[in-house]
Structure 1
Amino acid sequence: MRLSYARFQPARQGVSRLATFGLAALVALAGMAAPLQSVTAQEKLTPGGGSAVAGQTTDPVVVVTLGSIDQLTRDLNYFSGAIGQPQLGGMFAMMAGTFTQGIDTNQPIGVVVPLIDGAPEPIAMLPTANVKTVLKRMEAQVGPADELDDGTMVIAIGANTVFIRQVGNWAVLARNRSVLDRAPADPSAIIGEMGADFDIGVRLAVQQVPPGMRAALIGQIRQGFDQAMKQQPNADDASLEYAAQSIEQLEQVIDQTEELMIGIDIDSTNRRILLESEFTAVAGTKLARIYEGQKPIPSAYSSVIREDAAGYVHFAGSIGPEALEQAQTSIDGALQMVKSALSQTDKLSEEERAEATDMIRRVVELIMDSAKEGKSDFGALLLTDANKLQFALGSFVSDGGEAASIVKDIAAKVQGHGDAPNFEFDVDNYKGVNMHLISADVPASEDEVQKIFGDQVRVHIGTGPKSLYVALGDASVPLMKQMIDSEGSPVAPSGSTLMQMQVNLMPILQFAQSIENNDAIAAMIDALSRADDAGELRIVSEAIENGQVSRIIVGDGMLQAIGAAARQAQQAKMNQGF
């Protein structure tokens, strides 16, 4: 077939964005992964051009996946319905049905980016057993495709020339004809798992990037930091030193990271949204040792993990020497910055600046001394009911006496100020924990605060030999005592979880509605009453070999509540218009 070079001219009128949904989206996605390489038209169209050997593969630096069309359609239909905007899912289904003829809608779509001669070259992979059917469908928008001697198809999309080749039940697309020889022989083996697990997934194999390219990236980041610091009018030596330390830590991460994965999934089956990240460091490196030093440990505060909680936070893990060293360096730099910032304010006297600096130093030293004991253990719990709120927390500290001393010194500094709270120390003792009380009057104008706490806000603090407790309000003291009771019997970890946090929206909204009636809150409560959960937001971090996995889960109830609030706001706006 004689090729027409006019077909590859960038100027083409009336190209529809919707009509090029399939191929153009893939090419655009691939184009973001690497700069357009300068290759002449003659080099592109010469059969067998390039130095690659047919069938040769290169491990990708980046893998990007989209879930199958069927999966995306189901998930977007669920999500748009949950937030009260079902038309969005309908639009996607209509577009997908119109422009996916010839595509296997049960298979994911992907882009891999190998490095070829040191330069990134994206390769898009489309699940179709006959790409000519897909191209024929697009012909009215992008023009007829040309076919080269070896069966490679060529089309123009905007200013880009795209080369397409059939590889089994897949079509592979690239901007350079020779790059097609580097396409995976079985794309599903590379993108299948991540494409099935997530609607959008990205995996970066950092060690596939040559050291020179990583060094160049670090150099660009350093240059950006230097320019940003020069533009700061009050930049001083402490700020510059802290920035330099941050760059060094970032350099360590870039050099010693093995792999990074980020995935987003609208899970219509389990009716939730999942954001997951997985990080692994190169085995044997300092970064790997930092993560290997973080392991779950028995916890004195795991009792905060309760199904009836409005919210809780819990973490319990070991701390290795490498993590301590890095934390100490960061904290030293931060302290210098704080000291410098305090020295520049004119709102404090020299004596007050010295006292504030010393107090901050003592708090930080207590935190670091606690970490030097090789562990962290913390739990916080929020319970709500009609007209009742309870909140308490407990934490391991290296020296509870020092924690009490810090609070006492703060009380001494603020004593005599008209708006200072009232401090009472050692008012009681419960199982070896000294009880202290901080109270402050609530102004009559703060009626909502008075409905929650009464005429006074009362904060109870407990300090034990190796513990610190806080309870908000008298009603929360029983929760604090439950934590004290469990301190002597730590609960062994049941898995690899280091940290978990959960918020349940329903009890929080019910409490807020009991304080003051609100139409938007009422609508959210009504939506939650029909949802699969109580408006759950959950964050979990787990230890893995040389790394960590983190997940953020947004439950169906949270989405339903957001949708109800949006509809209520729209309705209120419409009512204002009449």
Structure 2
Amino acid sequence: MNYSWIFVGRRLLAAVVGVLAVTGMACGQNKPIAVVSLASVDGLLNDVSYVAKAAGYGDFATQISQQATMMTNGIDRSRPLGLALLTDGDQFIPLGLVPVKDLAAVLRGLEMQLGKPQPMDDGILELQGPRPIYLKENNGWCFVGQTPGSLRKLPENPAGLLEGLNETFDIGIRVHVQNIPQAYRDIAINQIKVGIEDQLENLPEDDADAAVLQREMLKNQVRQWETLLSETDQLTFGINIDQAAGGAFLDTIFTAVTGTGTARKLAMMQDSRTNFSGFSVDGAAITMNLSGRIADDDIEQAKTTLAGLKKQAAKQIENDADLPDEASKQAAIKLIDGFFAVIEETLATGKMDGAGSAIINGTDLTLVYGTHVASGDKLEASLKELVELAKKDPNFPGIKFNAAQHNGLRFHAMQIPIPEEEEARKLFGDKLNVAIGVGEDQVCVGIGNDCVKYLRTCIDGCTKQKRTDPFHTNVCLSQVLRLAASIGEEESLDSIAKVLENCGGKDNVVISAKPVSDGAMYRIEIQEGVIEAIGNAAGQRAAVQ
């Protein structure tokens, strides 16, 4: 048995107790600012063991379990524990919550760091750490505070302090933004403004247009922070190991104050629908979709940014020595104006809708993407202007307009030679095939071998107004690493890819966003095979070192 681990564990427990470092009043009159929850010691150890074994470190899991038994003597390992940071509107009041079966045993384990407890009135015990710490046991729960007053009136339902986080997450953290005293929120905003003002003083003096654009973007940052602190209700962060599902979940939940502009924006995530579901190809190495509505003030802010970017682009064109004459420069500026006009008109629809995939077939890579636009005809006209301008370059490979048609979309195709020394040849061959499909209010792009065939299949697979997550991305790591291993020289990638291929399909990383009441939940899912692959990679790295 490694007793140094036990010593470190006890020091850690003492340190956790010692973070309660500000004065306070009775918790019954206070509001929570932040809550930290641990589901239970046994639950956490069980999940740590699962993750360690999945990663190939089963012996480590056994060692941790044995040491935890020594470190948690006297604690009820089946119940949740946590920490709440409360406020009376003026000061911060931390309150710890530990389930105990034998408080005396817990205190004996802390004697080396904090000494013997000194009894006070009302059942309160005092420990002399770097600052005094006070404990009180009540119905199998040990409350930890920084003043005796914080323990005078304890909640009837101690576990209620954790707000149910322990029922959802192994480790959960929740911040009640509106309960943070206004004075502290004002301090935060002032600090942000100071940082922004420092950046404003260092804007480029030789480019007035760039300085104006950056100044407006920095001012927008301040406004966004002010809105965030005034309209955010709760921020919740949680980690959960789901052994039945075979993976780990990292959740961030953001909710706004009901009735605010932020709440109305988040409500726009409800009932997300897409016209491009077919572009999220089943079995692809990577899929993604983004769908939703855009708030009016966000549209106006984006238009302001686009106007600045367009002005900068025009200035760069005027100074571009590679453009042979004034006529070419004016044609390029007209082209930029056309593309920006399509973007602005698309923004004005208040709609975003798109999906795409990366498809791997052996060592071939094909990319497909489809998206909503306000006017496919205007985009196509700008594309033709671009081609006319590009024809002045003797190396321009040309483009075949109207190479094919499908379901109301016109396909324009081109082949771009890939130099022999380029790594891209391993993925696409000696020529990069590109196809652009244009319809009335949509555009799609395909890159790679058989891209037109894939685009047709994607278009046929689309269902009008299909329900979808506002955002969803899936990465199949076994396919990605297998491709990387086939074109590279890293032997370690091959072994990691084999681990992923033998994990029963649990080889994905999934990132998604879903609406909740007055807010949204953002989730990262790491499946069991990925955990195993991470352990494999760590083992290889350790072996090399």
1:44 maps to none
Q: Distance in 2 between matches of 1:160 and 1:268?
A: 41
2:30 maps to 58
Alpha-carbon spacing, 1:117–1:505, altered in 2? closer, same or farther (3 Å): closer
Structure 2 counterparts to residues 424-503 of structure 1, below 5 A: 424-446=400-422, 448-486=423-461, 489-493=463-467, 497-503=469-475
Structure 2 counterparts to residues 51-450 of structure 1, below 5 A: 52=25, 56-86=28-58, 88-157=60-129, 159-181=130-152, 183-191=154-162, 193-232=164-203, 234=205, 236-319=211-294, 323-333=295-305, 335-336=307-308, 339=311, 343=315, 348=320, 362-417=338-393, 420-446=396-422, 448-450=423-425
Alpha-carbon spacing, 1:441–1:182, altered in 2? closer, same or farther (3 Å): farther
Q: State the Cα deviation string for residues 205-242 of structure 1 (Å, max 9, x = none).
A: 12222334323321221122112332455583332222
For residue 532 of structure 1, report the CA deviation from its aligned partner: 4.2
Alpha-carbon spacing, 1:132–1:327, altered in 2? closer, same or farther (3 Å): farther
Comparing 358-367 with 383-392, greater Cα deviation is found at 358-367
Q: Is the 8 A contact 2:118 2:126 kept in 1?
A: yes
- What is the letter of the counterpart of residue 174 of structure 2? R
Alpha-carbon spacing, 1:483–1:173, altered in 2? closer, same or farther (3 Å): same
Q: Any idea what SS the aligned residue of 2:399 has?
A: strand
Q: Is the 8 A contact 1:60 1:113 kept in 2?
A: yes
Q: Distance in 2 between matches of 1:550 and 1:521?
A: 29
Q: Any idea what SS the aligned residue of 1:121 has?
A: strand
Give 5+ residue unaligned stretches, structure 2. 1-5
1:25 maps to 16
- What is the letter of the counterpart of residue 458 of structure 1? N
For residue 355 of structure 1, report the CA deviation from its aligned partner: 7.1
For residue 92 of structure 1, report the CA deviation from its aligned partner: 3.3
Q: Distance in 2 between matches of 1:68 and 1:531?
A: 29
Q: State the Cα deviation string for residues 81-117 of structure 1 (Å, max 9, x = none).
A: 3334445534532432111011111122211111135
For residue 438 of structure 1, report the CA deviation from its aligned partner: 3.2
Alpha-carbon spacing, 1:342–1:196, altered in 2? closer, same or farther (3 Å): farther
Q: Distance in 1 between matches of 2:217 and 2:430?
A: 45
Q: Is the 8 A contact 1:383 1:391 kept in 2?
A: yes
Q: Distance in 2 between matches of 1:256 and 1:86?
A: 46
Q: State the Cα deviation string for residues 256-280 of structure 1 (Å, max 9, x = none).
A: 1121111122334433121111111
Q: Is the 8 A contact 2:273 2:467 kept in 1?
A: yes
Q: Is the 8 A contact 2:485 2:491 kept in 1?
A: no
Task: Give the TM-score, by structure 2 length.
Answer: 0.88
1:508 maps to 480
Q: Any idea what SS the aligned residue of 1:258 has?
A: strand
Alpha-carbon spacing, 1:147–1:96, altered in 2? closer, same or farther (3 Å): same
Alpha-carbon spacing, 1:442–1:202, altered in 2? closer, same or farther (3 Å): same
For residue 27 of structure 1, report the CA deviation from its aligned partner: 3.2
Q: Distance in 2 between matches of 1:313 and 1:509?
A: 18
Q: Is the 8 A contact 1:21 1:99 kept in 2?
A: no
- What is the letter of the counterpart of residue 75 of structure 1? D
1:46 maps to none
Q: Is the 8 A contact 1:239 1:337 kept in 2?
A: no
Comparing 206-215 with 360-369, greater Cα deviation is found at 360-369
Alpha-carbon spacing, 1:65–1:423, altered in 2? closer, same or farther (3 Å): same
Alpha-carbon spacing, 1:229–1:534, altered in 2? closer, same or farther (3 Å): same
RMSD (Å) for aligned C-alpha atoms = 3.0
Name the % identity.
24
2:530 maps to 558
Q: Any idea what SS the aligned residue of 2:470 has?
A: strand
Q: State the Cα deviation string for residues 463-487 of structure 1 (Å, max 9, x = none).
A: 1111101111232222211233345
- What is the letter of the counterpart of residue 13 of structure 2? G
Q: Is the 8 A contact 1:162 1:174 kept in 2?
A: yes
Alpha-carbon spacing, 1:516–1:397, altered in 2? closer, same or farther (3 Å): same
Q: Is the 8 A contact 2:80 2:166 kept in 1?
A: yes
1:40 maps to none
Q: Is the 8 A contact 2:285 2:360 kept in 1?
A: yes
Alpha-carbon spacing, 1:365–1:148, altered in 2? closer, same or farther (3 Å): farther
2:3 maps to none
Q: Distance in 2 between matches of 1:92 and 1:357?
A: 65
Q: Any idea what SS the aligned residue of 1:416 has?
A: coil
Alpha-carbon spacing, 1:404–1:534, altered in 2? closer, same or farther (3 Å): farther
Q: Is the 8 A contact 1:27 1:124 kept in 2?
A: no
Q: Distance in 2 between matches of 1:96 and 1:360?
A: 64
- What is the letter of the counterpart of residue 288 of structure 2? V
Q: Distance in 2 between matches of 1:337 and 1:362?
A: 14
Q: State the Cα deviation string for residues 98-145 of structure 1 (Å, max 9, x = none).
A: 110111111222111111351112111111144232112221332111
Comparing 171-180 with 185-194, greater Cα deviation is found at 185-194
Q: Distance in 2 between matches of 1:374 and 1:423?
A: 32
Alpha-carbon spacing, 1:387–1:70, altered in 2? closer, same or farther (3 Å): same
Q: Any idea what SS the aligned residue of 1:56 has?
A: helix
Alpha-carbon spacing, 1:181–1:354, altered in 2? closer, same or farther (3 Å): farther
Confirm whether residue 548 of structure 1 aligns to residue 520 of structure 2: yes
Alpha-carbon spacing, 1:485–1:527, altered in 2? closer, same or farther (3 Å): closer
For residue 334 of structure 1, report the CA deviation from its aligned partner: 5.6
- What is the letter of the counterpart of residue 214 of structure 1? R
Q: Any idea what SS the aligned residue of 2:343 has?
A: helix
Give 5+ residue unaligned stretches, structure 1. 1-14, 38-49
Comparing 384-393 with 356-365, greater Cα deviation is found at 356-365
Q: Any idea what SS the aligned residue of 1:465 has?
A: coil
- What is the letter of the counterpart of residue 432 of structure 2? V
Q: Distance in 1 between matches of 2:53 and 2:223?
A: 46
- What is the letter of the counterpart of residue 74 of structure 1? N
